[in-house]
Amino acid sequence: MTVKHLWERLLEAKSQLKPVQSKYRVLFEDPATPDEPAKVLVPDPNWMACALEGGILPPIETYQRDRLVPDGEPKEHPYAEPIDAMTEEEAIEYLIQKDIDPSVWRDYKGNRTIMKIVPVELIPSDRSFRNAWRIMQ
C-alpha cells in the first residue's frame, strides 16, 4: 500500500484532531554559542495531537538520517511509514531529537547541565531579562 505524503497526513490530521497544549517545555543551551541565553522549545499543539494519535508522524530515525542529506536531495521522512501513538513524554523525547541539535542532547560531554525538560509553570512569565536566562546548575 502506498504511504501518503507526510504533509497530506498533517493536513488530514489538522481537520480531524483537536490541538493538545503540552504541559512540558524543553530548556536548553547551545554549547556552540555559550554567550547566548537559554532557549525554550515549545511543542506545537497540532503536532502534539498527531504524536498522541499515532499513524501520522514518521520514525525519528528518518529525520536523523535526513540531517545528513544535502539541500535539494530527496528526503526520507515525508515518505516513511508512520509510527504508532506516543505518550506525551515520548513525544517530547522525539521532539528533542528532531528539533534540537545533537550537539546538545547527544554529543555534549561537559559538566554543565545544558538541557532540562520542565513543566510549563517553571518558565518565567516576566521576560524583562529574557536575554539573561540560563539553566540553573
Partner 1 sequence: MSTLEVSNINDGTTTVATTFVTNGSAKAWVTHNAATVAQDSLNVSSLTDSGTGKTAVNFSNSFGAKDYATSICSMRSSGSNSHYENNGVSGSASALNAVYISGTSAADTNVASVICVGELA
> 39-68: which residues touch partner 1 (CB under 8 A)?
39-47, 50, 57, 66-67
Rg (CA), the chain: 17
3 is a site residue for partner 1 (CB under 8 A): no
Cell of 40: 525554550
**Quick check: 82 binds partner 1 (CB under 8 A)?**
no
Residue 89 as a binder of partner 1 (CB under 8 A): the answer is no
Q: Which residue reads 506545537 in cell numbers?
A: 44
> In the structure grid, which three cell numbers stand for residue 84, read together?
504508532
Nearer Cβ to partner 1 (77/108): 77
Output the CA torsion 123→113→47→97 (10° steps): 170
Tally of CA atoms within 13 A in the half-sphere of 92 that contains its CB: 20
127 binds partner 1 (CB under 8 A): yes
Check residue 36 for interaction with partner 1 (CB under 8 A): yes
Q: Which stretch binds partner 1 (CB under 8 A): 32-40, 81-89, 103-111?
A: 32-40
Q: Which of 58, 34, 38, 61 is nearest to 47 (CA)?
A: 58
> Where on the chain is the footprint of partner 1 (CB under 8 A)?
5-7, 10-12, 14, 19, 21, 36-37, 39-47, 50, 57, 66-67, 71-72, 74-75, 77-78, 95, 98-99, 123, 125, 127, 130-131
